[in-house]
């Protein structure tokens, strides 16, 4: 431990676990973007709220930037530490702290993986309904800091809907307990919502009290094949009119090609240009409605084929076709857009975006998929193996500027669910007005007066 700052941190907090080996710095200094070369000062692994507070107080006193770190499954560079920051990983703060059957809440340390929180809810006969493919690795703290969405937002909403209360260690090292898990509370600004989607720029979420709900009904999964992109929102309207949908997800044939190459099983004998994975209750009435919606779409030429799960194993197989996409694309280090518009604006936005990307990306493979039932589209551009990453990113940034203009015209967002981080910082202005960004900066100054919390993420200092 040669760095004088680290010697000072160790002297101030002798019990704090610190990692400084090059492989550890590399591991904890990057997220799923893999675009920046990790270069953190060190990794702190606190074990308690008090230890987190002490680390932050030390960082403030010594003007050391702090990067809060969960599972580092983030797709926007929010957890990247490439400028000598101290990474504060919550991975040792991963326990369930309590369950309240009357309030239907689960209190957890923020480092707990999403899947363990879901399992804890299930053990109590309830459900924590936020869900997506990174469930095994991402943390509740990271989910809160990004307001994570996932595959069941169409039914249950984003993480924001499920946070009844939380504890935040601010950039001053103060512990704020916000929310109190009250159902009703009209006592002024709701500070919970400042921490949600704050991307670690205001403080470190150390605990959360999550709302739980009734377990989901037994469900069926249906895979639909669509002949055209224009049909997509019409199929959504037809199914939503008849069913309470648990999920409505979309992928193209290009996305499917990559998942199949990654080991999934082909669903149809023939290939189709677009697909939808949808989920709904498997009771008799819902199944009849689903078949009626399918027949209606078939008659109107909106779908060309379909398959419905006959067992849990088949349902899992169909889900794999959608949930396996991100993993199957990882080796191409894709450039990711994660955009949203209101559902009503989706048809016009999709048409314009399809024309834009067709025109601007003749040289790259473009993979479309996403949570179409929420108005959220994922566009992944794949880096050709031989191309240098810098040149590839520069090419994609040029098109993202154009996409940001389309989003602005349709009242959309440059980040639906992954956060702004480093990746989308230049485009924040297409979603937030200058006046709004000034307020965001003001809020940061109050909660993080020394500017040590994840500086350079979301917006520049
Ligand atoms: P990290 O990547 O560690 O951090 C993300 C941000 O949160 C950073 O800014 C970090 O500083 C901050 N942060 C982390 N922990 C804390 C804390 N305790 N306090 C304050 N700030 C903190 N996202 C979706 O929304 N929907 C999806 O469907 C989805 N699918 C995915 C599928 C795959 C295969 C992968 C790899 C990712 C997917 N993601 C998805 C993205 C990612 O999993 C989410 O953004 C997730 O919420 C990040 O959690 P994390 O713990 O990994 O956070
Ligand atoms: C997903 O929905 O699978 C992830 O949010 C997306 C991604 O990899 O872009
Ligand atoms: Zn997603």
**Cα 327 to ligand 2 centre (Å):** 9
Residue 281: the pLDDT is 95
* Minimum CA distance residue for ligand 2 atom 9: 378
Residue 218: pLDDT above 70? yes
CA 160 to chain centre: 12
The architecture (CATH level 2) of 219-326 comes to 2-Layer Sandwich (3.30)
Pocket test for ligand 1, best of 31, 35, 138, 262 (most atoms within 8 A of CB): 138
398-437 burial, b if ≥16 CB within 10 A, otherwise e?
ebbeebbebbeebebbbbbbbbbbbbbbebbebbbeeeee
H or E stretch including 226?
A: strand 219-226
Structural element, H or E, at residue 381: strand 376-382
> Which residue's CA is the nearest one to ligand 1's atom 53?
142
Instruction: Give the whole-number percent of the chain exceeding pLDDT 70.
Output: 100
- 8 has pLDDT over 90: yes
328's CB contacts (< 8 A; 6+ apart) are 258, 259, 261, 262
What is the three-class DSSP state of 375? Answer: coil
- Return the CATH number of 4-91, one of 3.40.50.980, 3.30.43.10, 3.20.20.140, 3.40.50.2000: 3.30.43.10
Q: How far is the CA of 161 from the centre of ligand 1 (A)?
A: 17
Distance CA 177, CA 165 (A): 7
189: CA distance to ligand 1 center in Å? Answer: 26
**The pLDDT value given to residue 4:** 93
The residue among 49, 85, 48, 62 whose CA lies nearest residue 12 is 62
Q: Is 171's C-beta closer than 6 angstroms to any atom of ligand 1? A: no
**Arithmetic mean of pLDDT, 196-222:** 98
| The pLDDT of residue 167 is above 90 | yes
Minimal CA–CA distance to 329: which of 423, 232, 260, 248? 260
Give 95 Cα–ligand 3 centroid separation in angstroms: 26
Instruction: Decide whether any atom of ligand 1 lies within 6 Å of the 200 Cβ.
Output: yes
Centre of ligand 2 from the C-alpha of residue 334, in Å: 11
Task: Give distance in angstroms: CA of 400 to centre of ligand 3.
Answer: 18
Mutate which of 78, 133, 396 for ligand 2 pocket (most atoms within 8 A of beta carbon): 133
Spacing, Cα 417 to ligand 3 middle (Å): 7
In the predicted model, what is the mean pLDDT of residues 364-376?
A: 96
Closest CA relative to residue 67, chosen from 201, 198, 176 = 201
User: Is the Cβ atom of 68 under 6 angstroms away from ligand 1?
Assistant: yes
Tokens of 161: 């809907």
134 close to ligand 1 (CB < 6 Angstrom): yes
Rounded Cα gap, residues 322 and 338, in angstroms: 16
pLDDT per residue over 171-207, tens digit each? Answer: 999 999 999 899 999 999 999 999 999 999 999 999 9
* Tokens, residue 213: 């709900």
Asked if the model's pLDDT at residue 295 lies above 80, the reply is yes
Ligand nearest to the CA of 149: 1
Q: In what order do the strands lie in the sheet with 42-44?
A: 18-19, 42-44, 86-89, 66-69
Cα dihedral across residues 231, 236, 237, 238: positive or negative: positive
Q: Which fold has domain 333-430?
A: Alpha-Beta Plaits (3.30.70)
CATH class of 96-211: alpha beta
Give percent of the chain above pLDDT 90: 98
Q: Is 139 in the pocket of ligand 1 (CB under 6 A)?
A: yes
Atom of ligand 2 nearest to the CA of 322: 3
CB atoms within 10 A of CB 300: 12
Q: Name the closest ligand to CA 117.
A: 1
Query: For residue 273, is it left (φ>0), alpha (ψ between -120 and 50) or beta?
Result: alpha
Q: Is 368 exposed, middle or buried (0-12, 13-18, 19+ CB in 10 A)?
A: buried
Mean pLDDT (whole number) for 269-289: 96
Tokens of 317: 């197989």
- How many CB atoms lie under 10 A from the CB of residue 355? 11
Question: Same CATH topology for 219-326 and 333-430?
Answer: yes
Cβ < 6 Å from ligand 2: which residues? 75, 133, 325-326, 336, 338, 378, 380
Asked whether the predicted pLDDT for residue 1 surpasses 80, the reply is no
Q: What is the mean pLDDT of residues 418-428?
A: 98
| Residue extents of the structural domains in the chain | 4-91, 96-211, 219-326, 333-430
Mean pLDDT across the chain: 97
Tokens representing 388 are 């240098």
- The pLDDT value given to residue 2: 63
Phi-psi region of 7 (alpha: psi -120 to 50; beta: other; left: phi over 0): alpha
Mutate to test the pocket of ligand 2, among 74, 76, 132, 421 (most ligand atoms within 8 A of CB): 132
Atom of ligand 2 nearest to the CA of 329: 8
Whole-number Å distance between alpha carbons of 121 and 127: 5
Give the model's pLDDT for residue 3.
Answer: 87
Nearest CA to ligand 1 atom 44: 74
CA of 370 from ligand 2 middle (Å) equals 7
Give the count of beta carbons closer than 10 Å to the beta carbon of residue 191: 17
Asked if the model's pLDDT at residue 364 lies above 70, the reply is yes
113 has a pLDDT exceeding 80: yes
Rounded Cα distance between 217 and 219, Å, is 6
One DSSP character per residue, 156-217 reads H--GGGGEEEEEEEETTSPEEEE-TT-S---SS--THHHHTT-TTSSEEEEEEEEE-BPPPP
pTM: 0.98
Distance 439 CA to ligand 2 centre (A): 30
């Amino acid at each position: 431990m040669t760095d004088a700052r680290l010697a000072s941190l160790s002297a101030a907090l002798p019990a704090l676990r610190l990692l400084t080996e090059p492989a550890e710095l590399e591991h904890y200094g990057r997220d799923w973007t893999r675009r920046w070369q990790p270069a953190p000062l060190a990794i702190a692994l606190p074990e308690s709220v008090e230890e987190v507070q002490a680390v932050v107080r030390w960082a403030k006193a010594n003007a050391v930037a702090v990067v809060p770190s969960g599972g580092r499954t983030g797709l926007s560079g929010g957890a990247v530490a490439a400028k000598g920051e101290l990474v504060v990983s919550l991975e040792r703060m991963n326990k369930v702290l309590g369950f309240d059957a009357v309030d239907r809440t689960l209190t957890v340390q923020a480092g707990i993986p999403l899947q363990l929180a879901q399992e804890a809810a299930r053990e109590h006969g309830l459900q924590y309904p936020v869900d997506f493919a990174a469930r095994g690795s991402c943390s509740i703290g990271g989910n809160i800091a990004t307001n994570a969405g996932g595959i069941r937002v169409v039914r249950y909403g984003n993480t924001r809907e499920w946070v009844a209360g939380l504890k935040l260690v601010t950039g001053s090292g103060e512990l704020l307990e916000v929310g109190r898990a009250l159902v009703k509370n009209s006592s002024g600004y709701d500070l919970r919502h400042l921490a949600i989607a704050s991307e670690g720029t205001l403080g470190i979420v150390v605990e959360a009290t999550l709302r739980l709900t009734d377990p989901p009904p037994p469900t069926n999964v249906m895979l639909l094949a669509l002949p055209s992109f224009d049909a997509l929102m019409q199929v959504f309207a037809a199914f939503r009119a008849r069913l309470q949908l648990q999920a409505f997800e979309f992928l193209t044939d290009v996305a499917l090609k990559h998942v199949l190459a990654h080991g999934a099983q082909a669903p149809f004998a023939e290939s189709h240009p677009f697909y939808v994975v949808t989920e709904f209750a498997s009771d008799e009435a819902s199944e009849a409605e689903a078949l009626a919606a399918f027949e209606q779409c078939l008659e109107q030429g909106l779908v060309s084929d379909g398959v419905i799960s006959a067992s849990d194993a088949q349902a899992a197989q169909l889900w794999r076709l959608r949930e396996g996409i991100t993993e199957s694309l990882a080796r191409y280090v894709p450039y990711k857009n994660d955009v949203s518009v209101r559902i009503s604006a989706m048809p016009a936005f999709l048409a314009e975006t399809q024309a834009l990307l067709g025109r601007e990306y003749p040289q790259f493979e473009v993979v479309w998929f996403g949570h179409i039932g929420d108005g959220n589209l994922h566009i992944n551009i794949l880096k050709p193996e031989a191309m240098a990453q810098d040149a590839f990113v520069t090419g994609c940034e040029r098109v993202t500027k154009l996409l940001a203009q389309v989003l602005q015209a349709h009242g959309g967002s440059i980040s639906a669910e992954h956060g702004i981080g480093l990746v989308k910082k230049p485009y924040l202005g297409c979603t937030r007005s200058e006046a709004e960004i000034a307020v965001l900066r003001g809020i940061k100054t109050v909660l993080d007066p020394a500017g040590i919390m994840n500086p350079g993420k979301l917006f520049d200092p």
